[in-house]
């Protein structure tokens, strides 16, 4: 069995609209047949994910992050992130979906927010703009690293590279921003998968 994946070139000189279009086209490309000719050993990937699961179970909850396989498949997980202390997300808990590719850890998992999250780097569909999930991915990263990075992103967004331009514009008005965070969170709207 072979997995083929596209390798879009990273370009950090784009406008926010081009940035959003690139993310949208990358999402569309991820639904296309893959293009790499690397043979896949699903046994080693499964073993790696089992080790990551054990590591998370041993230490993750203490850090405000956790994740477990969603069903029988070790390749689909549901994660939880608690908002960091001292951030506008403190006291809130967010659910995420993680879909690990067959060539993990050489390719990053697809991670999306399932709980509505008002944030400059998260769009209305739960997509996340985070470099380690795209062009800065390393096979040294694991699920715990991903969850902690997303947790950190909640408190330290990058408004210069927004997926949600309204959240980015509101970021400097802390009181109104926090009202929007809570309004969307407590509305209880989940993203459509």
For the annotated catalytic residues, the residue numbers are 129
Q: Which two tokens stand for residue 105?
A: 């850890």
Q: Burial level of 16, CB count in 10 A (0-12/13-18/19+)? A: middle
Of the candidates 115, 125, 101, which has an alpha carbon nearest to the alpha carbon of residue 34?
101
- Collapsing DSSP to helix, strand or coil, 135 comes out as coil
Beta bridge partners of 97: 78, 112
- Collapsing DSSP to helix, strand or coil, 67 comes out as strand
């Amino acid at each position: 069995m072979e997995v083929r994946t596209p390798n879009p070139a990273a370009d950090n000189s784009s406008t926010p609209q081009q940035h959003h279009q690139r993310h949208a086209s990358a999402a569309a490309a991820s639904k296309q047949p893959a293009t790499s000719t690397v043979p896949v050993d699903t046994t080693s990937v499964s073993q790696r994910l089992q080790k990551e699961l054990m590591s998370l179970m041993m230490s993750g909850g203490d850090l405000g992050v956790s994740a477990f396989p969603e069903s029988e498949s070790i390749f689909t997980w549901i994660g939880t992130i608690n908002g960091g202390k001292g951030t506008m997300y403190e006291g809130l808990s967010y659910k995420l979906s993680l879909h690990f590719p067959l060539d993990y850890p050489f390719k990053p998992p697809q991670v999306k927010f399932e709980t509505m999250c008002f944030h400059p780097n998260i769009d209305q569909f739960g997509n996340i703009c985070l470099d380690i999930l795209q062009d800065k991915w390393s096979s040294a990263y694991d699920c715990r690293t991903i969850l902690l990075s997303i947790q950190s992103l909640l408190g330290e967004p990058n408004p210069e590279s927004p997926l949600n331009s309204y959240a980015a514009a509101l970021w400097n008005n802390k009181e109104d921003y926090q009202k929007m965070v809570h309004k969307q969170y407590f509305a209880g709207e989940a993203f459509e998968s």
